[in-house]
Structure 1
Amino acid sequence: MKRAFCVLVPLFQDTKFTVSTMAKLTDFKEWKFRSSPSYAELPIDENPQYNEPVAVKNAVFSKVPTEPLTGKLHLVCVSEEALSDILDLDPKVAETEEFVNFLAGKYLPEGGLTVSHRYGGYQFGFWADQLGDGRAHILGEYVNSKGECWQPQLKGSGETPYSRFGDGRAVLRSSVREMVASEACHHLGVPTTRAAGLVVSDDHKVWRDKTYSGMARQERAAIVMRVARAWYRLGSFEILLKRKEPQLAQTLADFIIKHHFPHIDMNDADKYVKWFSEVAHTNLDMVATWQGVGFTHGVLNTDNISVLGDTIDYGPYGFMDHYYEHYVPNSSDDMGRYAFNKQPEILVWNLGKFAEALDPILSEEDKAKIKAGIATLPEYVNNQVLKTYLAKLGLKEIQDGASSFIKDLLDMMQSTSADFTCTFRQLAELDVTKLSDTAALEAKWSLNKVCKAKGWLKWVHKYTDRLQKENVSEESRRQRMSKVNPLYVPRNWMLQEAIADADNNDFHKVRLLLKIFKEPYSVNKEAEMLGYSSQPPSWSYGLKLSCSS
């Protein structure tokens, strides 16, 4: 599906300069937002009591100033790619006081308009009423040298009308996890919001009960700057349904189509049907990429699903170590609702709720078409996931028995506790003729586990046969597989080590992870020394995260 940005006249269209050769801004004081952000066209609650929880009505946003971090600040890290490719900034600006203050909510460039977004959502299958940006502020809109429109947002920047338990802050550990995962997923080919930078305060502390055990302790407050094309979610419409605001729902839908799906004709009688279909399919394409890299979101509530098909809100996520189809990284998910293998069907369920939210603005014909479209989504996403797995094996064609062929491999991986990431990568590294060679397999620690499963040799025979039927040469197979099977993913144990160092103001490992995940498919000597493609340490198995952040 086409992924669109705001409709804007390309800058520098009559010059000989190209984006790749244009100089990046080195003086951050010269950097400005678009003078009037597109979202200013939508109803914004003026919000005279911005730091008090309130049931907001008839608005998409609330106008809310940031509450800057106080105390001594440290720049934990930045994404050089996000600064350069998205914000047109020379990464050296990160060394300036103005930029650090920008991340900390102290400095707002010209043209900024700080708002928090109103939305609701179904959490673990139950309606949770008004949610909204309880600790996040959209700062403004930036139009870069490529004509793309991006919205920087601070997370952890103070209370808003949507702060359900007060506070409005985020802590260092969760901010590091969001920063690293956002950038890693981008380089892994997963559609995602981005993260530009992260600051932490020595002196600004907040109370958190990390394990919900009644043992709260103080942690340092931090702010991560996220960047996205826009921040609208399925829940942006669900709250309007529940509050009986159909006119605003239509206004918002038309606005989003106009600015973010410009290839859909606003005069088309089927515009809402086409829009729903695109929202649905881009999100299902996204979840297929998750399955391909072993990513489990952890909290697939409807308020955490973007209408633009980007991964959003990195909380208690996890990248699987050993393959387990029921893998759950979130300690709060007692029923396993959001387990790894359930993610595709949960996205379909969420999209059904999205259709319900659009119901008041749809004609009867629209409703019938969308209902018929929803019925096709399970098969669509299953096929996308199947294609993803076939690509991981260097294959392209969905032949008879393809599903059982993939399932047999995954079942063997599960029964032998083989590593998800490394099994596929090691299949790419080893000549296919060596897959039945015990000595060759012993050199590959994860494959050496799988090959002990009953049925391994039979599966290898099927694999060889499929490669021959598709006429895939060994060179082509290994090249294809090396492009889609990473060496490195941000495993929880790596993040835990980086966070432990960051707690002591040693940010080397956080920055190293960002560097490694810029090229997750290539061997990195420092990563190898740290064992990032080796068998994970025994203490890492079973690590789970909570929603406490």
Structure 2
Amino acid sequence: MQFQITNPFSTELPADPNQDTVPRAVTKACFSYVTPRIPSNPQLVHYSKEVAQLIGITTAEATNTAFTAIFSGKEILPNTRPYAMNYAGHQFGNWAGQLGDGRAINLTQIQHLQQKYTLQLKGAGATPYSRRADGLAVLRSSIREHLCSEAMHHLGVPTTRSLSLILTGDTVLRDVLYDGHPEYEKGAVICRVAPSFIRFGNFELFSSQKDLQTLKLLTNFTIKHHFPEIKGTSKTDYIAFFKAVADKTRTMVTHWQRVGFVHGVMNTDNMSILGLTIDYGPYGWLEDYNPDWTPNTTDRENRRYRFGNQPQIALWNLYQLANALFPLIEQAAPLEAILDAFQTQYEADYTSMMRNKLGLCMAAETDLELLQLLSQNLLLHETDYTIFFRKLSELQKTDSEETAFEILSEAFYKPEKISPQTQDSWLYWITQYTLRLQKETASDPDRKSRMNAVNPKYVLRNYMAQLAIEAAEKEDYSLIEELHILLKKPYHEQPNAQKWFAKRPDWARQKIGSSMLSCSS
């Protein structure tokens, strides 16, 4: 493997002069140099051919021992010095101070076909930011991130990518639900790929430390390398930078709501400055439509990061970023204007997105009422979010209400228990929806095609990931590959994969790993 090494982050920004990995406060430094922990017996479990090609790795190179050695942390790429980033953050709404890359180590940045990518190992050992943790990861959580990163990309959701999943040959002690019952699990490392892993928390750190010199260096660096359309470094340019981040964040969250994805831990240190979905921990997809659902056991009481609250949390996080950048701008009004506009712009984006999910090209005055009634109906009886919108495309303008209801009933978890009142509510909505379709000029086949391009048939349901994990723990990795292939074409019918177009099985309702997860998951 021959990479074109660039490494601007570690050459243009200040480094921590201390070379050890002892947990400590690190000031006036954007990163600390670290060395990945050498695994005892690394074994390649799976890799993404697409991501390998993206960064210039051939199939032959990806299946040799050098690939496994480098992307497990056993060997260091020539002319590189791995490092861990220094950042702070708000966790569950509370200021947590310095956090940093506790179990992530950036190997290097490379350039391939005029595009730049940072290669980052997750689970490769301790850093100065590991606090009381070991910096390692387990197979369970690594499978979830590896599969989800690629699934999200193919859904059209902005995300970091995952190149490889490698067993380390070592065991890791983890308490899955933080309930005082730790167990040893298989250790693993994944290689994450993104243009940058800079987060909101990078800026929060230096602002909180009143280190305006480093804050300015970081902001100028980020604009130069990741927002080249912003040409300068004046206060006006910093405002433009903040607006660009807000726009990217809004786009990302709108996509989350479109596909029913719940991040689970939207702390500011888990918010990418590029509007990428980052740090796949206790994430999940909606099974039944429930705006109050969160997959995170740590968030079970307050449900701060529940599905329906994600847009508001994104805005709250942007307020924290605005506070961090304020010392460079010294003007509150332009930042407040961007923040005030976020909600209005999101509502417009959301309405447009939902129109697309319903197959409506033209805006009508009754659309908001139609959407509101739909949200109410989806709560009347346990209804699968993904299946409902996919089946909705099968309705035809000439269908009777009863025929349409029969089609949609496949999305109900217990259709035999639908009450007469609930059925009447659905029949009324179907009537309004059918009347609305009469205003559309597109044919039924054209509308179905457009709807199926935004409403996925296949998503990485929580129980699917759990099945892959349980098989992998028995050294059967075939389901990882099967799901990886399936999720590369989530909008396609894939008749041979019809078994995955199904509601959550009963056994998965309360099963650990399928319903609720912790931050160690």
**Which whole-Å CA distance do the structure 2 matches of 1:106 and 1:46 have between them?**
24
Indicate which of 41, 44, 58 corresponds to 2:12.
41
Q: How does 1:441-480 map onto structure 2 within 5 Å?
A: 441=406, 445-446=410-411, 449=415, 453-480=423-450
- Tell me which residue corresponds to 1:490: 460
| Structure 1 residue 535 corresponds to structure 2 residue 503 | yes
Give the aligned residue type for 1:42.
L
Q: Distance in 1 between matches of 2:76 and 2:8?
A: 14
Following superposition, the deviation at residue 417 of structure 1 comes to: 0.7
1:408 matched to 2:380? The reply is: no
**Cα distance, 1:35 vs structure 2:** 4.8
Q: Distance in 1 between matches of 2:461 and 2:72?
A: 28
Which aligned pairs between 1:3-22 and structure 2 lie closer than 5 A? none
Matched, 1:300 2:266: yes
CA contact (8 A) 1:35 1:110 kept: no
Tell whether 2:102 aligns with 1:102. Answer: no
- How many Å apart are 1:44 and its aligned residue? 1.3
Separation (CA, whole Å) in 2 of partners of 1:262 and 1:45: 27
Which whole-Å deviations, capped at 9, do the CAs of 1:83-131 have from their partners, x for residues lacking one?
11x2122233221000011121012223323110011100010001111
Residues 296-335 of structure 1 aligned to structure 2 (within 5 Å): 296-333=262-299, 334-335=301-302
RMSD of aligned alpha carbons: 1.8
Deviations 1:333-369 (A, max 9, x none): 02010000000001001000100011111133xx211
The alpha carbon displacement at 1:267 in A equals 5.5
Q: Secondary structure at the match of 2:297?
A: coil
- Aligned residue runs from structure 1 range 129-148, under 5 A: 129-145=97-113, 147-148=114-115
Is this contact kept in 1: 2:264–2:283, CA < 8 A?
Answer: yes
CA separation of 1:497 and 1:433: change in aligned 2, threshold 3 A: same
1:236 pairs with one of 202, 207, 222: 202
1:41-65 Cα deviation digits (max 9, x unpaired): 011113322x210100001111111
Counterpart Cα distance in 2 of 1:273 and 1:252: 15
- TM-score, normalised relative to structure 2: 0.94
How far, CA to CA, are the matches of 2:503 and 2:19 in structure 1? 55
Q: Is the 1:234–1:305 contact (alpha carbons within 8 Å) kept by the matching residues of 2?
A: yes
Aligned pair 1:168/2:135, yes or no? yes
| Identity across the alignment (%) | 38
Matched residue type, 1:77: H
Q: Which amino acid aligns with 2:227?
A: F
- Matches for 1:39-188 after TM superposition, within 5 Å: 39-49=10-20, 51-71=21-41, 73-84=42-53, 86-145=54-113, 147-188=114-155
Show structure 2 runs of 5+ residues with no match.
Answer: none
Q: 1:286 aligns with which of 252, 275, 296?
A: 252
Would the alpha carbon gap of residues 110 and 269 (structure 1) be closer, same or farther in structure 2, given more than 3 Å must change?
Answer: same
Measured in 2, the distance between the counterparts of 1:454 and 1:547 equals 42
In the aligned structure 2, how far is the partner of 1:268 from the partner of 1:237? 17
Q: Deviations over 1:481-520 (max 9, x none)?
A: 0111111100110011100011111111011111100001
Distance 1:337 1:440, change over 3 A: closer
Distance 1:35 1:346, change over 3 A: closer
Offset at residue 300 of structure 1 (A): 0.5
1:461 CA displacement: 2.4
SS, match of residue 166 in structure 2 = strand
Cα separation, partners in 2 of 1:239 and 1:466, compared to 1, 3 Å:
same
Deviations along 1:389-442, whole A, 9 cap, x unmatched?
111111234432423311211221221111000000011134343362348825
**Structure 1 residues 436-494: Cα deviation after superposition (integer angstroms, max 9, x where no partner):** 23488258611694895332222222222322334232122111001111111001100
Equivalent residue for 2:168, pick from 197, 201, 205: 201
Please list every run of 5 or more consecutive structure 1 residues that lacks an aligned counterpart in the other structure: 1-27
Which segment is superposed worse, 376-385 or 264-273?
264-273
Secondary structure of 2:45's match? Answer: strand
Residue 515 in structure 1 maps to residue 485 in structure 2: yes
Aligned to 1:374: 339
Q: Which residue of 2 aligns with 1:501?
A: 471
CA drift at 1:227 = 0.3
Distance in 1 between residues matched to 2:179 and 2:235, nearest whole Å: 54
Separation in 1, partners of 2:268, 2:477: 34
Q: In 1, distance between residues paired with 2:223 and 2:6?
A: 22
Change in Cα spacing, 1:544 to 1:267, as seen in structure 2 (3 Å) is closer
Tell me how far apart the structure 2 counterparts of residues 456 and 209 of structure 1 sit (CA, whole Å): 44
Structure 2 counterpart of 1:497, one-letter code: L
Contact 2:111/2:117, CA 8 A, preserved across alignment = yes
Amino acid at match of 2:334: K
* Greater displacement, 193-202 / 388-397: 388-397
Residue matched to 1:225: 191
Between 1:457-466 and 1:179-188, the stretch displaced more is 457-466
SS of residue matched to 2:61: helix
1:387 alignment counterpart = 352
- For residue 224 of structure 1, what is the amino acid of its counterpart? I
Q: Whole-Å Cα distance in 1 between the matches of residues 461 and 291 of structure 2?
A: 17
Alpha-carbon separation, structure 2, partners of 1:92 and 1:77? 14
CA distance in 2 between partners of 1:468 and 1:274 (Å) = 43
Contact 1:425 1:482 survives alignment (8 Å) = yes
- Asked if 2 retains the 8 angstrom alpha-carbon contact of 1:33 and 1:140, the reply is no
Tell me which amino acid in the other structure corresponds to 2:133: G
Letter in 2 for 1:80: K
Q: TM-score, normalised by structure 1?
A: 0.90
Give distance in 1, aligned partners of 2:6 and 2:279: 28
The amino acid across from 1:358 in the alignment is: L
